[in-house]
Structure 1
Amino acid sequence: MIMAKLSVAEHGRTLTLNDKPFFYLADTVWSAFTNASIEEWAEYLDVRKMQGFNVLQINLLRQWDASGSDIQIDPFSLNKDGSYDYYSLNEEYFERAEQMVGMAVQRGFIPALVLLWCNYVPDTWAGMFQKDNKMPFDAVEPYVRYAVERFSKYNPIYFISGDTDFPSERANAYYMKALEVVQAVSPESINTLHIQGRLRDLPEEFENHDGLDFYMYQSGHNSQFQFMAHEIAQHFYTRPRTRPVINGEPCYEQISYSRNVYGRYSRFDARKAAWQSLLAGGGAGITYGAHGIWSWHKQGQKFGIVEGEGFDAPYDWRDALRFEGAWDYAFIKYLFESYNLVGISPADMVLNETPEIRAAANDDTIVLYIPVNTRVRLNRDVRDYTFTTIDLEKKRFAVTEVATKDGKSVIPMHRFEQDVVVIGQRK
């Protein structure tokens, strides 16, 4: 079994695989190790492989807000009161997790393993929901060392943190210790931080750390802040320390709006968040999520056993696995690879007075995302380009005539009913 090994391109804007640009297309499956049976896992992997996904984001430990599970297995031994004994690793749990990682790698996936979700760390925002049973600081090093020694042969990406807000020096010390252990045990690993939704400022000691290979952010599930998909991408793209940028948690398809707000994110919402992230600076890749997959929900099981962020019930995982939005994200990967767009740079060329229309460009290609139909005005002469408009819902391609005058251009209103991407290629 030949395992994929990632690196960061010399220019710092993309990940590479075998020296070729790698478009990171991940699925969010945080709860797989505690909730999915081996048979279910095989079914899931076969579908996502067919769709073209290449990374799986999994919590190495139990996800604090996962759905109820009929698999009674935990990563640590239990004390009499049901709490974790963090000094006693459950070998059976990690053997099973390794089997699942092996199955994924055999099908061509790169595992992205979260080492310390924020509920295991003191002082983080999740403390208000899960106040007890934090991991003692002196248990961090042996746990992380054990995990990295066990899984590094599969060349995973390590998420040092999960959903963290870096609230205190005490909490930050946990993540720094984990990062140092990963570097010592597996110095060639690709590492990042999964940070709290809408967070854009990393502590200086992490932002400047040589052990972090790419920026990951999450625009998240709050209905008031979906513009963060492009705003935070642009922020990290312009940081002094150049790294690839990836939105690792845009709004999940069919998840309800957070904070108990009525409504759910549609296929269109998830697609819009992806394209706006990619063209605003996050062109190294994107992560998809389906409400029912991340928590591995089974009909009849409880959801929100620990009071969480106010999400409505998930779909059964098999229903969620077949949401159409996953195909939209697979189509994004197809377009990025077909038109050589991986790592494309944001471009300030749109004259329409809205940040919703996003533009990006490289030496030979211009890409625009238009979520709501209108004519688009550009501050650029594009007579040297031929344009194609792509209907993102029905995957239809249309030849597009663009008018240019006095150094400015106009893309006419297209004839499709949903959002589109317009791609211009230099003649």
Structure 2
Amino acid sequence: MSRLKIHENKSNFIRDGKPFFYLADTIWSAFTNVTIEEWEFYLEKRKMQGYNVLQINTLPQWDRCVADTGIYPFASEDGQKFDFSKYNQDYYERAKKMCQMAVDKGFELALVVLWLNYVPGTWGSRMLDMNIMPKEYVKKYTDKVISEFDQFEPIYVVSGDTDFDTDDAIEYYQIALDELCKKSPSTLKTLHIKRGYDIIPEEFLDKIDFYMYQSGHNAMEQRMAYMLPQQISEKYPKKPIVNAEPCYEQMGYSRMQYGRFGVKEIRQAAWSSILSGACAGVTYGAHGIWNWHRINSPKNSVLGEGFDSPNPWQEALQFEGAWDYGFLKYLLEENRVEELIPCQELLENASEEIRIAKTKEGNYFIYVPYSTQVVIRESLKGYEIKAIDLQTRQIVYVTPDYRENKTFLKMLPISHDIVYIMKKKMTDIKREE
């Protein structure tokens, strides 16, 4: 049986009977690009930062750095075009060694079975069609993934960055998902879908265990971080929701727009997600880690849509935002938070960018991107209120005003984004009991 399970509240995960906040790093191209020595260093770093899940593509990532290790799952003359009829077992032995190293350090594995460029009728295969997998190999390849990786009890991410706008795409992924359900019934399954997308085919709904969405790298559409979990919650049966690809740190803006995502923008994506219904977890990404860029790579060395040049992996691994995501997980664990229930209706005349959610115990979290007065349509007398400057992690003890049965949080002298934590005082909890 898989160690990772769905909480009975259908909003979160549990592992070994304890709440588990899914904090992942995207390292899609690990199996093709990372050496064993580099992998050991990487795992140590992310373990220290609090990460507990690694999202990896079982197939060569189409937009990885071309300066890879030269080992592929199928026969190939150039590392780009593959012969799906001939497996390279050395690739799988090496990948399993990397998986074992990760599992030994306590990581869960989220392994993508079919990234979109291998599937006909997706936006990715229309851009790059050299490696569309023949349909007769889909079941065979899924069986190969199960036979090689099921020992690690991974999360199977059936699709990668995909849409389901064609019958071909739905058929391919249905073949893979049905085979996973048949041959690996105890592992968790999900779908990684494209940016800004919330379409999940009806025939998949009963077979996946939780939802992934992608708020992505379009600078003009970062509201997707909070809009998509709301839409998914309204459209589909209740299951845990994870933002599996928010904007990556130092990724260039898409749509040919000049600029890069910084620490404040990636923090906002994470907090906006978890306070809007995606409280099961969130995924960090660093531009240079997901595609494993090397300092000695040739010019124009990134395949696919590169979103401007990445940093070498050694530099990308040191980005400050990775610690911010670890700090988010720390705050939730220290406050024993499991489910977070969005309650935007409590905010009066507030920007949609300000997000609020409550716990089942009646405590509140509010994310404020820029310091301003916040008015809550409830009197929270009897609550201890703290504000944390998310850049400096300094703590402000807040004294609110109460009038007209409302709580007024005055603007604070903080120049960065803020999270408010509002907890019932212990004397009030005992009084209620």
Task: Please say whether Structure 1 and Structure 2 have the same fold, judged by a TM-score greater than 0.5.
Answer: yes
Deviation at 1:240, TM superposition (A): 3.9
1:321 maps to what in 2? Answer: 317
The 3-state SS of whatever aligns with 1:224 is helix
- 2:193 touches 2:212 (CA, 8 Å); kept in 1? yes
1:298 maps to what in 2? Answer: 294
Residue 218 (structure 2) pairs with residue 234 (structure 1): no
The 3-state SS of whatever aligns with 1:282 is coil
> Which structure 2 residues correspond to residues 348-427 of structure 1 after superposition, within 5 A?
348=344, 349-362=346-359, 363-427=361-425
1:33 maps to what in 2? Answer: 31
- 2:19 touches 2:338 (CA, 8 Å); kept in 1? yes
2:274 to 278, 298, 301: 278
2:428 maps to what in 1? Answer: none
Moved more, 54-63 or 227-236: 227-236
Read off the aligned partner of 1:261 and give its amino acid letter. Q
Distance between the aligned counterparts of 1:82 and 1:333, measured in 2?
Answer: 38
Read off the aligned partner of 2:355 and give its amino acid letter. R
Structure 1 pair 359/115, CA: closer, same or farther in 2 (3 Å)? same
1:101 to 99, 102, 105: 99
Task: Kindly tell me the number of residue pairs found equivalent between the two proteins.
Answer: 423
> Which structure 2 residues correspond to residues 56-75 of structure 1 after superposition, within 5 A?
56-75=54-73
Unaligned ranges ≥5, structure 1? none
2:140 maps to what in 1? Answer: 142
Identity value in percent: 44
The 3-state SS of whatever aligns with 1:377 is strand
Residue 271 (structure 2) pairs with residue 263 (structure 1): no
Distance between the aligned counterparts of 1:370 and 1:408, measured in 2?
Answer: 18
Distance between the aligned counterparts of 1:307 and 1:104, measured in 2?
Answer: 26
Structure 1 pair 108/80, CA: closer, same or farther in 2 (3 Å)? closer
The 3-state SS of whatever aligns with 1:238 is helix
In the superposition, the TM-score normalised over structure 1's length comes to 0.96
1:126 to 119, 124, 128: 124
Read off the aligned partner of 2:357 and give its amino acid letter. A
The 3-state SS of whatever aligns with 1:127 is helix
Deviation at 1:184, TM superposition (A): 1.2
Structure 1 pair 97/15, CA: closer, same or farther in 2 (3 Å)? same
Deviation at 1:69, TM superposition (A): 2.1
Distance between the aligned counterparts of 2:386 and 2:171, measured in 1?
Answer: 50
In the superposition, the TM-score normalised over structure 2's length comes to 0.95
Distance between the aligned counterparts of 2:259 and 2:228, measured in 1?
Answer: 24
Read off the aligned partner of 1:356 and give its amino acid letter. E
Q: CA RMSD in A?
A: 1.6
Distance between the aligned counterparts of 1:353 and 1:179, measured in 2?
Answer: 42
- 1:259 touches 1:309 (CA, 8 Å); kept in 2? no
1:24 maps to what in 2? Answer: 22
Deviation at 1:409, TM superposition (A): 1.1
Read off the aligned partner of 1:258 and give its amino acid letter. S
Read off the aligned partner of 1:417 and give its amino acid letter. S
Residue 215 (structure 2) pairs with residue 222 (structure 1): no
TM superposition outliers: structure 1 runs of 4+ over 4 Å: 79-82, 302-307
- 2:350 touches 2:374 (CA, 8 Å); kept in 1? no
1:156 maps to what in 2? Answer: 154
Distance between the aligned counterparts of 2:122 and 2:403, measured in 1?
Answer: 55
Moved more, 351-360 or 269-278: 351-360
2:430 maps to what in 1? Answer: none
- 1:130 touches 1:306 (CA, 8 Å); kept in 2? no
Distance between the aligned counterparts of 1:221 and 1:376, measured in 2?
Answer: 29
Structure 1 pair 231/304, CA: closer, same or farther in 2 (3 Å)? farther
The 3-state SS of whatever aligns with 1:329 is helix
Distance between the aligned counterparts of 1:157 and 1:302, measured in 2?
Answer: 34
